[in-house]
């Protein structure tokens, strides 16, 4: 059986590199961070240029943590520009591979199955990787790092751990070299999908390396991690059976839809309720646009750090699956008032629609409900979506969106919670 060859290609300091290129600066020599200073000095830097990292500025540091006197360019996020550049990079990949052999993992990272193309181009895996990386640099200006592996996991680990130490920014692993080079690597959290929480649970059994996972009695791992132990064991040995084809053909049995927001300042409880209502209203439109309905919505409210309280959590259950704002917004408002302590300041709000299913168009009503009203509300939401699609998200708004503490209008101009441009 032919051994597969995968590339995992990542763009070094993607947002920061794009901003350097846009300014005609060398991304390997410029000191630049991507952040929105208009929010506050506590704003987290979304990206730090390669050179700035070498000078000690940490990834995801806050603006206030940048050393005084260090001449650093602060670039405001331009999410649409980054999306456009990501699309251009995908276009480069398509020059060499068919779409079914590319899996986009994130805005700046992708897996490529190059197995069928090595004979076509008469190149080794590393030679093809270098060719693609150079094409990306020539086309977009970004600098790639690359992991080469005989499965998706090893390609990812080669990228995350070994590529950064290579002069050509390329790391290579197969199962044998993985065990030889990385079985004793620390910290164990450098490995994909091993969080600090997982590492702490492993440490209870004296396990601090991949060798430790591979050596311990498997029953011990299954007792601690359940079915997730299977993944830990496979990865400890460098095994990963999943292919790009498997990922692309996976169909989830259940769906969910969520929305989260970190507020720019501490909000009083009543202001937080307004945000929860705005977010629920938008979720109802998102459900309508995707032709989904939900059976319930879970609300999580995080308090300000100064209150040292874990936050509030609750779920609003609907009498039938719905996507109507007229039903969802009052339910979340009532839930918010029930679970949130008004003495605490609010800083984070998250909503998650549970048991999301396809909207069949059949309304489940009881004898006291007006079917005409339900249909009118449904038609109104579809009309709102049509107007916004044509004239922009802020072309038609509700009264609550104009209240002082509201964030809806601002968020409508953002991508992923950041400036679009």
CA distance to 279, 319, 323, per residue, from 365 (Å): 26, 9, 14
Q: State which of 246, 264, 293 marks the end of a domain.
A: 246
pLDDT, average across residues 149-178? 97
* pLDDT score recorded for residue 68: 80
Q: Are residues 263 and 191 in the same domain?
A: no
Q: Are residues 121 and 47 in the same domain?
A: yes
Q: Are residues 105 and 174 in the same domain?
A: yes
pLDDT, average across residues 74-101? 95
Closest CA to 146 of 7, 302, 338, 334: 7
What's the domain range around 210? Answer: 183-246
* pLDDT score recorded for residue 251: 79
> How far apart are the C-alpha atoms of 381 and 325, rounded to whole Å?
8
**What pTM was computed for the model?**
0.77
Q: Are 13 and 47 in contact (CB under 8 A)?
A: yes
* pLDDT score recorded for residue 36: 87
Q: State which of 129, 164, 182 marks the end of a domain.
A: 182
Residue-wise pLDDT for 191-220, tens only, equals: 999 999 999 999 999 999 999 999 999 999
Q: Are residues 228 and 299 in the same domain?
A: no
Say which CATH number the domain at 362 has.
3.30.1490.100
Q: Are residues 81 and 220 in the same domain?
A: no
How many domains does the chain contain in total?
3
**pLDDT category, 364, cuts 50, 70, 90?**
low
Residue-wise pLDDT for 240-276, tens only, equals: 999 999 999 987 766 778 999 988 889 999 999 999 9
Say which CATH number the domain at 225 has.
1.10.150.20
Q: Are residues 215 and 162 in the same domain?
A: no
pLDDT, average across residues 307-323? 87
Q: Are residues 294 and 372 in the same domain?
A: yes
pLDDT, average across residues 310-323? 90
Percent of the chain with pLDDT over 70: 94
Regarding predicted confidence, which is higher, 421 or 86?
Answer: 86
* pLDDT score recorded for residue 417: 60
**pLDDT category, 370, cuts 50, 70, 90?**
low
Q: Are residues 189 and 209 in the same domain?
A: yes
Q: Are residues 159 and 207 in the same domain?
A: no
């Amino acid at each position: 059986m032919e051994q597969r060859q995968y590339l995992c290609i990542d763009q070094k300091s993607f947002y920061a590199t794009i901003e350097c290129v846009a300014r005609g600066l060398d991304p390997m020599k410029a000191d630049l961070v991507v952040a929105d200073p208009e929010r506050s000095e506590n704003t987290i830097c979304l990206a730090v240029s390669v050179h700035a990292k070498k000078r000690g500025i940490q990834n995801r540091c806050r603006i206030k943590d940048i050393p005084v006197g260090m001449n650093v360019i602060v670039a405001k996020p331009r999410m649409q520009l980054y999306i456009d550049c990501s699309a251009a990079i995908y276009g480069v990949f398509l020059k060499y591979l068919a779409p079914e052999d590319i899996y986009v993992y994130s805005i700046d990272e992708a897996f490529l199955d190059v197995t069928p193309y090595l004979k076509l181009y008469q190149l080794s895996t590393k030679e093809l990787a270098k060719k693609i990386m150079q094409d990306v640099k020539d086309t977009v200006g970004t600098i790639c790092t690359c992991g080469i592996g005989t499965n998706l996991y090893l390609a990812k680990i080669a990228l995350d751990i070994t590529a950064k130490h290579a002069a050509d920014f390329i790391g290579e692993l197969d199962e044998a070299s993985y065990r030889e080079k990385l079985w004793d690597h620390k910290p164990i959290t450098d490995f994909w999908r091993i969080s600090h929480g997982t590492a702490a649970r492993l440490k209870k059994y004296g396990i601090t390396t991949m060798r430790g996972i591979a050596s311990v009695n498997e029953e011990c791992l299954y007792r601690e991690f359940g079915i997730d132990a299977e993944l830990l064991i496979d990865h400890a040995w460098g095994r990963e059976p999943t292919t790009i084809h498997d990922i692309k053909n996976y169909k989830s049995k259940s769906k969910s839809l969520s929305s989260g927001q970190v507020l720019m300042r501490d909000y009083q409880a009543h202001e937080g309720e307004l945000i929860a209502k705005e977010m629920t209203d938008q979720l109802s439109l998102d459900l309508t646009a995707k032709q989904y309905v939900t059976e319930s919505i879970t609300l999580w409210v995080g308090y300000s750090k100064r209150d040292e309280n874990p936050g509030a959590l609750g779920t609003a259950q609907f009498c039938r699956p719905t996507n109507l704002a007229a039903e969802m917004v009052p339910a979340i408002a009532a839930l918010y008032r029930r679970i949130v302590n008004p003495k605490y300041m609010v800083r984070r709000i998250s909503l998650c629609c549970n048991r999301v299913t396809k909207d069949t168009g059949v309304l489940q009503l009881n004898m006291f409900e007006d079917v005409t009203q339900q249909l009118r509300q449904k038609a109104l939401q579809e009309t709102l979506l049509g107007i916004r699609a044509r004239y922009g998200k802020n072309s038609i708004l509700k009264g609550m969106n104009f209240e002082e503490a509201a964030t809806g209008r601002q968020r409508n101009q953002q991508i992923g919670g950041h400036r679009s441009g």
